Amino acid sequence: MIALLRNPSGLIGAVLVTVVATAALLSLVWTPSDPLAVDPTASWLAPSAAHLLGTDALGRDSFSALLVGAQVTLGSALLATTVAAILGLPLAAFIELTPSVVSSFLQRFIDIMIAFPTLILAVILVTSFGSSTWTAAIAVGLGASVVVARTVAPELRRAHASDYSLLALAAGASSGRIMLHHVIPNAGSTIIVRLTQVLAGAALAEAGLSYLGFGTPAPTPSWGRTLAEMQPQIMTRPEVLLAPALCIVIVVLGFNLLGDGLRDTLDPRTRRSNR
């Protein structure tokens, strides 16, 4: 942890992610106002002590909605990354353990799936099963799972061909045991970095889907849908778009920088090249 914080990218990324996570946790127990409370007499109020970021067209407190939006974005990103890990890591291990003919077929299938846009898959699933935060997150996780498998498989292959794996095989350990106890733990740094990058992509995908109307449904606050709702005001009140747009930038940049910091800290090859 100390080594990560000594890395500039890791430090900045950790700070940005901590800020967003704090806002999300805070929104679970407190918001300045009810983010769903509609007050037509208070529409489009300027920022003040009562409404730190002003109000929207329906008189809802923009700052409260922003806090709840952090909860939605982080929750969907974590769910999407969990789905990607649960599906992608076993697929990567299966590719490594199967004969070369099957492995080559699976890798070509993964290449085809990677070429299929994740957002298109998410739109198809949301259209079929209904618009919701969790449906969108699962769809994004499905799309990211093949990317995880494609990225992690070569690292598992290198670890599987290493001396410690060969010694374990000579000692009589099964291929599955070697994979679980030797190969995957030694590829842990690559897996952690990849999943951190998936978090960034999933947060951006949730915002994009909500902006298009396929993600978090109204009235639950979402940064992406807030951008869509505020878009007609871009010429008259451009500042109302700044807060949700800045939040999206912060969370995506934070996870990407944190992933870069983790890569520099955990990967010995990167550490040697930086000396």
Kindly report the CATH number assigned to the domain that includes residue 141. 1.10.3720.10
pLDDT level of residue 257 (50, 70, 90 thresholds) = very high
237 phi and psi, to 5 degrees? -140, 70
Residue range 158-177: average pLDDT?
80
pLDDT attached to residue 163: 81
Query: Is residue 128 one of the residues assigned to a domain?
Result: yes
Report, in angstroms and rounded to the nearest whole number, the Rg of the chain calculated over CA atoms.
Answer: 22
pLDDT attached to residue 205: 92
pLDDT of 120 higher than 90: no
pLDDT level of residue 19 (50, 70, 90 thresholds) = very high
- ∠ CA 72-87-153 to the nearest 5 degrees? 120
pLDDT level of residue 272 (50, 70, 90 thresholds) = very low
Q: What is the Cα–Cα distance from 34 to 243, expressed in whole angstroms?
A: 18
Query: Is residue 36 one of the residues assigned to a domain?
Result: no
Token representation of residue 220? 């639950």
Query: Is residue 33 one of the residues assigned to a domain?
Result: no
pLDDT of 244 higher than 70: yes
Residue range 227-244: average pLDDT?
84
pLDDT attached to residue 269: 56
pLDDT level of residue 231 (50, 70, 90 thresholds) = confident
Query: Is residue 77 one of the residues assigned to a domain?
Result: yes
pLDDT of 270 higher than 60: no
Q: What is the Cα–Cα distance from 193 to 148, expressed in whole angstroms?
A: 10
Name the amino acid, one letter, at 233.
Answer: Q
pLDDT level of residue 271 (50, 70, 90 thresholds) = low
pLDDT attached to residue 122: 83
Of 58-62, 219-223, 262-266, 269-273, the one with minimum mean pLDDT is 269-273
pLDDT attached to residue 80: 95
Which residues have a Cβ under 8 Å from the Cβ of 182 and sit 6 or more positions away? 159, 164, 165, 168, 173
Write down the pTM of the prediction.
Answer: 0.89
Q: What percent of the chain shows pLDDT beyond 70?
A: 96
Residue range 51-68: average pLDDT?
91
Query: Is residue 37 one of the residues assigned to a domain?
Result: no
Enclosing domain of residue 66: 2-27+62-269
Query: Is residue 221 one of the residues assigned to a domain?
Result: yes
Query: Is residue 150 one of the residues assigned to a domain?
Result: yes
Residue range 199-207: average pLDDT?
93
Q: H-type helices in the chain, by residue range?
A: 2-6, 8-29, 62-97, 100-115, 118-129, 133-160, 163-170, 175-178, 184-186, 188-212, 223-230, 239-266, 268-273
Domain count for the chain, please give it. Answer: 1
